[in-house]
Structure 1
Amino acid sequence: MTVPAYGAHAADKPLEPMQIPRREPGPSDVQIEIAYCGVCHSDLHTVRSEWGGTLFPCVPGHEIVGQVSAVGDQVTRFKVGDTVGVGCMVGSCQQCASCRDGEEQYCTGTGFIGTYNGATEDAPGHTLGGYSQRIVTDENFVLHIRHPQDQLAAVAPLLCAGITTYSPLRHWNVGPGKKVGVVGIGGLGHMAIKIAHAMGAHVVAFTTSESKREDAKKLGADEVINSRNSEEVESHADTFDFILDTVAASHDLDTFTNLLKRDGTLTLVGVPEHPHPSPSVFNLIFRRRAVAGSLIGGIAETQEMLDFCAEHGIVADIEMIRIQEIDEAYDRMQRSDVKYRFVIDNSTLSA
């Protein structure tokens, strides 16, 4: 079967309407009618081949929320009519140590299969994402959504931005009594502030935009630091248990490692176009500090994150767009002209 979608035929071409193939549901498959799809910076990087390796035609989208319309005869966890989500992965080897531990994002067998631009036996030979009317996915990579119906559009970014920030916050035991920094107040950063606040931490937001100071406090930050104000920054030296750096542009990491307590960790989740300058070794060895990285989260942890956010009333701050506005949204996203995440109303595909 074919379904309406939006995608690009080349890196230098705009996204345009197209018909794409979707397989009939197999025994363990869940067929989902997509209601909303969040717009991630990774979508832009991939469709414009800024990271290289993009397979065309490219249909992005890995922040998917919709309703189950069919299930295979071996599916046990979902039924027709369920509200569900699909995030950044639709497959992995399920055999390696990481997969057995529920950390499919670190699969060392086949590597995880991305929701788009991942190798697959389905035509056209690579996965096609959520800028489409429908998706068919193995039930092991489908998630229950328990938020109210009127929040579903704002839930979509949780499938990437939410889990990308929740996973490191959980892994490094963020909670009451911990002082936590969040660098950057964008699509990722605004979710990190909300989640860390709900976890009970003392949250400090770092921004280069003085205009975002009040916004950060409304999101849940207890303090806001202008990272261009050296005196303001240095007054917090040696005080942070954990800092989550969400900025996707190359910058000086020493500014933030210097703020960590002994045994503190700076974790990077933003992927810059060019490498960061190498951090000073002295800043690390004299406090046993660490610089680490984190990639999304496993399926079980993503479900945990969705349930946590439903319990605490957490969703993304979004701007809804029609699919026909996607190229304009990409341009605005590059200018950081969105608070804080675009979400596509997939019903506009029929237009």
Structure 2
Amino acid sequence: MAFLRLSSPHTRGPNKTSRVMLWVILCTLPGLLMQTVFFGWGNLINTALCVAIAIATEAAILKLRQRPVAFFIKDNTAAVTGLLLGLALPPLAPWWVCAVAVVVAIILAKQLYGGLGSNPFNPAMVGYALVLISFPVAMTTTWSSPTGYGSATPGFIETLQIIFGNAPVIDGYTMATPLDVYKHDIGAALSSEVLQHPAFGDFVARGWEWVNLAFLAGGIVLVVRRIISWHIPVSMLAALSVMSLAFGWDPDRYTPLSVHLLSGATMLGAFFIATDPVSAATSHKGKLVYGAGIGVLLYIIRAWGNYPDAVAFAVLLMNFAVPFIDYYTQPRTYGHKRSRRIKTSDS
């Protein structure tokens, strides 16, 4: 007896995980280049170190879990986690800070939950937040002074010696970030006086504006190629802007919008961190809510919290809310006029 074989039409998309992660890596390179140009070799060295540790740690844990090492390493997700940490950590951070952040990100925030696709929190931000809370001195006193501020940027060999502990971090090499300077100085001075600090330069924030614009350019490439959607970065930046205009319109009291947008990890967070496909919201409406929540929390923590740059904490707090957001923003089921939600009762 012959059976009629019918099947739905299936298509194969070109966006494999390894290819998506490779595009993410490529689109961060302009930002990494600007970091190297304006703040020296630190982020480049830290990035190479973090990526190497991330791949080695993931391989070791996969071996212990008796999983195919080569198969999972080739998806490039461990490399992206290390890359994001290398970009986010201070340029002159000691090597052991990088190592702790990466090991925590890979083991506790990713593999402990079952590996790729199972982690509820952004692994890189878990590692970053842990070292920021645990080692505040190492994380706040190792930001490089920007190029052009005297001759303070150390060379390649000297940067290696600082990172690996064979040379002290000289005060002339370091400087507080623009967000930190504005947050702590505005209470005792006018905006015009605070902006005279060398951290701000002639534009918005010396070096930082070009770093953020480079990450913005890389993020736009990801959106154009549909590696990520526009919903999270646009809603995050829009919410941050609205909060800044609504509550921080007076530059003599709060950090102005231009400094919020073009300093710190704003653009890196909007396009490369908040858009993590595993820990972020899934529907378009949910992504808008998720991104807006990050923008609101980012401003609240920056303006009234203890941390001048709060991308990691804002993202992690919204990761907590993702199941709730996904439940109430389910898209309409095909063939139904309204979205159908899962019933929680037995009736």
TM-score by length of structure 1 reads 0.25
Structure with greater Cα Rg: 2
TM-score by length of structure 2 reads 0.25
More strand by share: 1
More helix by share: 2
